[in-house]
Chain A
Amino acid sequence: MKKDDPCGRLIHGLSRRSLLQSSAVLLSMPLIAKATSVWAQEKLAGSGEVVVFSYGGSYSKGIRERVYDPFTKATGINVIDVVADIAEPQVRAMTSAGRIDWDLALIDGQNYPAMHDAGMFMPIDYRLWDDEALKGVPDVARRQDAVVAFGSTTLLAYDERALPKGGPKNWADFWNADEFPGPRGLSSVARHMVLALAADGMPNADRWPLTDDKVDRALKKLDEIRPHITKWWKAGGEPVQALLNGEFVMTSCYDGRAISAIRQGAPIRMVWSGANLVYVYWTVLKGGPNNENAQKLVAFLNRAQNAAGFTLATNLTGPNVNQLQHLPGDLVPLLSITPENASQVVVQDDTWLGAKRPDGKTNADHIQERWLAWRAQ
């Protein structure tokens, strides 16, 4: 399948989107010569630039095409990319140095509590948002000083070529090497040990907080599967690559990477049962050079049509459920925000992970240390 499926979009977006689009084209025709008047109708219109963190690679390319360029066209504000693996260390460094060069950054859920406590973020200006966006983005995703950019789900993915008689349905099947033979992969991220709890039959609701008894149980369960794990992957691109090359028949995998591969025709299937979901937030950095423009870009990003553009461009799923109307029909079932998928995943308890233990370490530190000891043995 191509990245854009015009047919799929035609069917699913026909009612509203195409109408809106064609009327927008008609409306804007006489105004093209005077672009400023287009901006005049746009409540997010402004000038200057906004400096936005970006993951690079196809993410940067896609989001520019589908979100930044339309944003610049609509508002007159230029978007400058700043690229790194993840934003948190740089945000921390800039805050400590007192020179904030960025406006908008993506912050992983487990890092959010500490950075929020340190007062690094500006309140999100929800007054700039459209009504539709305020309705489409659920309350839990809209924090006072952060809004969910996308949910990143670690789920089970398998190669349907290797398991023609039917693949695993859940993590217990992943652990069942007799019925589903073949080499496997798991991630080397400490927090992903929760997937072993799902395999051990723990109900989703009991997963968090990840107290010491649960860590013991998870590590014991991981001892069982350890001999069957060919590779504990590190970089997000590895699991899909290994599935395609036959190094794994099944693995844990980020949903975004699996979706990207499936959209390019890879024979990969996703299993949502018991998956671990982490929110990644847009934050406006306090002291950044263009805070006002950053607020405008956040409001723009959360409009359903742009949210759909973001999902299509990056394969990362934003929170606005209204975007589903603008997405091709065969993509929708692959997203974590459909009611069916959302009911099977477990949201990571970031507040608990960031909380301090009596010994001064955070729960996240403690889990990292227990994981390291298990790995190193």
Chain B
Amino acid sequence: MAGTVISSAVDHSAVVQASSSVRPTRWAWLLLPGTIFLVVLFIVPLAGLLLLSFGVPDWSLANYLRIGDSPAYFIVLRNTLEISLAVTALAFVLGYPIAYALTTGGAGLRTFLLIAVVLPYFTSVLARTFAWVVLLGRNGVVNEILLQLGLTSQPLALLYNRAGVIIGMTHIVMPLMILPMFTVMSGIDKKLLRAARANGASPLAAFLTVFLPLSLPGLIAGILLVFIYCLGFYITPALMGGVSDITITMEISSQVTEQLNWNFASALSVVLLVAVLAILWMGSRFFPIEQLLGFSSGEANSGTASNRQLGTQYLMRIGSAVNKLDRWLPSLGGRSVPILAGVLATLLLLPVLIVAYLSFSDSSYFVFPLPGYSLRNYENYLSDALWIRATFTSIRIALLAAGMATVLGSMLAFGLARGAIPGRGAMVALVLSPIIMPTIIVAVATYFLLAWWGLQGTELGLALGHTVHAIPYVVVIVVANVRNLNPAYERAARSLGAGPWATFRTIIAPLVMPALVVASFFAFLSSFDDVVYVLFLGIGRITTLPMRMWEGIRQDISPTIAAVATLQMTLALIIVVVGELLRRKKHS
């Protein structure tokens, strides 16, 4: 199933073992805690809710037949997939050069790019949407420029249509695409590229035949995460899309909260889950990831040897074709990628800068340009005990969830990569399902479990729910990086007398640390950003920061949320800069 995509992205030893007779290694034990956690906190409650879709206790297919009856649901599902694919493709095309420049650029460029990639994630959805209105609206900056230049006589409709949805979503998913690629690319040995150049490959040929294939696991991890993440969008399409840009998650959410048709919403979710797993499975059939990965590892294997030879031939041909082409390409002296990445990053930052600008408004509405400057939005935030309490609640819960998810998720990742257990595909499907299923369905299901334990409305309960949602991100990111770990290092350490713990501490931990940092960052964010789990698991007793921001959109239109978003961004900025400084210090 979906597992093939990841498991093939996993590591060479796994690929080797998958085709020989399967015998679990001792690594497989690492799967145990995470699996138990997911079964208890995800599978059991979800199974209960999914039984609802069959109308239990009177078994019936009525809910599924209803989906089939109206063509609308099919169109909505197709919309969702189209939007998700378009966003994934766009994010990849824009993200790859940025990830490449992050890896190869100087420290200054890297800091700038990291900031540009990470900050959009911290702006609240409402403030960000308004920033887009400022840029792309009827009276927006872009239309103003086009009108001034005489390129158009009427303001263009850049928002509230499919383009608006795709722009808005792509902007947010960039870190999810770029950071997994970045961690993998950082692990690529640059000497290989120099070797290729020394043997006559042009820069482009060296890139296409050496770097690109080696960066594949990160690329696949990024694409996979972004695609699945896109399926869950329902606020951004509602705020930036046109009337027909309805996603299946919007409809499921409306069925749960407005129509109160939980049985029907469950049926829709099952259809979504099946459709997505089928797509991932087909993707893994048609995209020959395994072969490409096969020759990137230095190990021979009877099953894939012929394929690998074929792949090598392909690459050689690509390389020589590109070498010939190279004469005709204009040369920018190796600066083209950093320049491109810099421009893209600046574009990413534009809406963010507008949010920061708006936060200094002295109006009680979002107005552009500002009628006057003031700090009233910051005063509103800082003087309001509810805002402050919500901030600390969010941080506490996110730290707890990120901690649990990082530990359980990285154990799962190592177990999956090296455990060589049978049925790994099913295992990976299990691990991914929490983010494929619409959050609201999982949240309702988890509520019943927590209510049964009496944990509803507690921070621990909410953190447990968030952990289920964060584990997939951790697993995908760590798994893509385990490939960089050459087991020979560990064997060497063990043969020199290091115990398992010492090996882990001195060899494995330092090598996977960047991946763990990025993974726990996403685990933290996925909890910190949540506005759905908290509604049920918190059952009104817990108010988190994003929830306060979301109330803003329903109850107020005050730019206070721009100030909160700006403070969040400032915090993120400080973290990125300090991280980079520490890194530089360590290297010098």
Contact = CB atoms under 8 A, between A and B. Distances in A.
Nearest to A115: B260
A351 B417 CA distance: 57
A364 interface: yes
Interface stretch (B106-114, B131-139, B314-322): B131-139
B551 A247 contact: no
Interface stretch (B13-21, B331-339, B443-451): B443-451
Contacts of B72: 369, 372-373, 375-376
Interface stretch (A153-161, A198-206, A238-246, A273-281): A238-246
A375 B556 contact: no
Contacts of A61: 386
A86 B243 contact: no
A302 to B, nearest CB: 23
Contacts of B258: 86, 88
B550 interface: yes
Contacts of B457: 101
Interface in A223-239: 226, 229-232, 234-238
A57 interface: yes
A111 B259 CA distance: 8
A372 B251 contact: yes
B366 interface: yes
Interface in B421-464: 444, 447-448, 451-452, 454, 456-457
Contact of B539 (A57, A94, A373): A94
B259 A97 contact: no
B556 A372 contact: no
Contact of A56 (B62, B73, B256, B543): B543
A82 interface: yes
A232 B454 CA distance: 41
Interface in B221-271: 238-239, 242-244, 246, 251, 254, 256-262, 264
B246 A57 contact: no
B576 to A, nearest CB: 31
Contacts of A82: 539-541
Contacts of B295: none
A311 B160 CA distance: 34
B259 A365 contact: yes
A261 B239 CA distance: 20
B556 A237 contact: yes
Given A373-B72, A376-B75, A376-B246, A245 B551 contact: no
Contacts of A247: 133, 137-139
B54 interface: no
Contacts of B553: 235, 237
B138 A89 contact: no
B472 to A, nearest CB: 24
Interface string A240-277: 11001111000000000000010010100000000000
Nearest to A82: B540
Given A58-B555, A89-B536, A373-B72, A245 B239 contact: no
Contacts of B556: 57-58, 237
Most buried by B among A86, A98, A99, A365: A99
A372 B256 contact: no
A93 B260 CA distance: 10
Interface of B: 62, 66, 70-73, 75-76, 79, 126, 130, 133, 137-139, 157, 159-160, 238-239, 242-244, 246, 251, 254, 256-262, 264, 364-368, 386, 444, 447-448, 451-452, 454, 456-457, 535-536, 539-541, 543, 547-548, 550-558
23 contacts: A53-B540, A56-B554, A60-B386, A82-B541, A83-B547, A86-B258, A88-B257, A89-B444, A89-B536, A90-B539, A93-B444, A93-B536, A101-B457, A230-B138, A230-B160, A231-B159, A237-B553, A237-B554, A237-B557, A241-B130, A246-B138, A261-B365, A369-B72
Interface of A: 53-61, 81-86, 88-90, 92-94, 96-99, 101-102, 111, 114, 183, 188, 226, 229-232, 234-238, 240-241, 244-247, 261, 264, 266, 360-361, 364-365, 368-369, 372-373, 375-377
